[in-house]
Amino acid sequence: MIVLNFFLTLGLVVVLAAVAVVYWSRMEFMAPGPSTSDANIVVAQGSTVENVAAQLEDRGLISNRWVFVGAAQVLDTSTKIKAGEYLIPAGSSMEQVMARLVEGRSIQHSVTVPEGLTSAQIVDRLNQDPILIGDIDIIPAEGSLLPETYKFTRGTTRMEMLERMQRAHQKVLDDAWEHRVDDLPIDSKEDVVTLASIVEKETGRADERNRVAAVFLNRLRRDMKLQSDPTILYGLYGGEAWEKPRTIYRSDLQRPNAYNTYQIDGLPPGPIANPGRASIEAVTNPSRTDDLYFVADGSGGHAFSETYAEHQRNVQKWREIEANRGNADTSDDQ
């Protein structure tokens, strides 16, 4: 009986101790964490729950790695922690930390690609991003990338970003082509992109894109040359055309240039930049107008006209504005 009582007492003590440990562990798991400031943590691909717990404890983000590991085993989350970069708010409990890692709520970074960049410029922008990883093997075809702001998580490769931009471009183009107006003087999606790239480089104003597109489409219908200055620059300088402001000289109009729409009929051989969604949609749904000409009006926009005589008057106004600006600059220099 003495021996039996001893073992019963011992068993009871063990059970009580186990209950106490479980209770303490549960309270520890749910209690606010020791960190006093927000912190980032990167969970590498293939990390075990033990690796993650050790990292969290070493960074002072949890109080006890073994409580974290034990809870993961009990909750069956030890194999569900996702790789990524995470923001751990100050004072987060182990329960909150685990939920964040299991749900995969990684930090979202972003890269912004403005409309009208060449593919070479976009590749350069991705190469300069400090978060993206990996090398880019090729320069994608001109006009095949959609300028936009893209969200991504740490560990995303530059090639993955390019592929996303290509898929996004194709989706926008397919949708725009599907909903195009019936009387477009354009035979293919590729031609839409080419003209949209010209529209993109001709105006940066959202309220003008559809009207600028209409001018070029009206010219195509009448077999008139497009006479777009940006096409001259792209034909001369290719992917470096938009690296810096460039002046077009009269001699440039005469130089052999497959993209020069003052020389060639119709559209150039391909896009001169990567157009955004708005310019693509402007080409497939242009303004309803008979305009054939436009010229800068001095306000950042353009003056549009249906006749050459009216256009010449607008050109003269623009020249007077430029002349007055030149005089003002000279006066300032003095």
Both tokens of 273, joined, read: 């930049």
**Residues 156-177, mean pLDDT to the nearest whole number:** 97
Q: pLDDT digit string (tens) for 111-124? A: 999 999 999 999 99
**One domain for residues 163 and 205:** no
pLDDT band at 10 (very low <50, low <70, confident <90, very high): low
**One domain for residues 117 and 191:** no
**One domain for residues 197 and 280:** yes
pLDDT band at 195 (very low <50, low <70, confident <90, very high): very high
Write phi, then psi, for 245 (nearest 5 degrees).
-60, 135
Of 87, 103, 119, the residue that ends a domain is 103
Please list, in sequence order, all residues whose beta carbon lies within 8 angstroms of the beta carbon of residue 121, skipping any fewer than 6 positions away: 239, 242, 243
Answer yes or no: is pLDDT of 104 > 80: yes
Dist CA 35 CA 56 (whole Å): 10
Residue 275 lies inside a defined structural domain of this protein: yes
CA 26 from centre of chain = 44
Answer yes or no: is pLDDT of 322 > 70: yes
Both tokens of 197, joined, read: 């790239």
Dist CA 149 CA 161 (whole Å): 11
The DSSP element (H or E) to which 234 belongs, if any, is: helix 229-237
Give the range of the structural domain holding residue 143, as residue numbers without chain letter: 109-167
**One domain for residues 121 and 243:** no
Residue 12 lies inside a defined structural domain of this protein: no
**One domain for residues 238 and 284:** yes
**One domain for residues 194 and 317:** yes
The DSSP element (H or E) to which 191 belongs, if any, is: helix 189-202
Of 57, 72, 103, the residue that ends a domain is 103
Residue 6 lies inside a defined structural domain of this protein: no
pLDDT band at 9 (very low <50, low <70, confident <90, very high): low
Residue 9 backbone class (left: φ over 0; alpha: ψ -120 to 50; beta: rest)? alpha
- The neighbour count for residue 328, using CB atoms within 10 Å, is 10
**One domain for residues 149 and 35:** no
Q: Give me the number of domains the chain comprises.
A: 3
**One domain for residues 194 and 325:** yes
pLDDT at site 240:
87
**Residues 147-151, mean pLDDT to the nearest whole number:** 96
Please list, in sequence order, all residues whose beta carbon lies within 8 angstroms of the beta carbon of residue 182, skipping any fewer than 6 positions away: none
pLDDT band at 27 (very low <50, low <70, confident <90, very high): confident
Q: pLDDT digit string (tens) for 66-100? A: 889 988 988 999 899 998 899 999 999 989 999 99
Give the β-pairing of 293-296 and 149-152. Answer: unpaired
Answer yes or no: is pLDDT of 229 > 60: yes
Structure-derived torsion over alpha carbons of residues 109, 115, 121, 122, reported in degrees to the nearest 10:
40
| Chain length of the chain | 334
pLDDT at site 331:
38
pLDDT at site 330:
37
**One domain for residues 267 and 287:** yes
Question: Which pairs from 71-74 meet CB under 8 Å and 24+ separation?
Answer: 71/25, 71/29, 71/95, 71/98, 72/98, 73/49
**Residues 137-165, mean pLDDT to the nearest whole number:** 95
Using the Cα atoms of residue 129, residue 133, residue 134 and residue 139 in order, give the sign of their dihedral: negative
Q: Are 147 and 276 in contact (CB under 8 A)?
A: yes
Answer yes or no: is pLDDT of 334 > 80: no
- Please, what is the average pLDDT of the chain? 89
Determine which of 15-24, 51-60, 95-104, 273-282 has the lowest per-residue pLDDT on average: 15-24
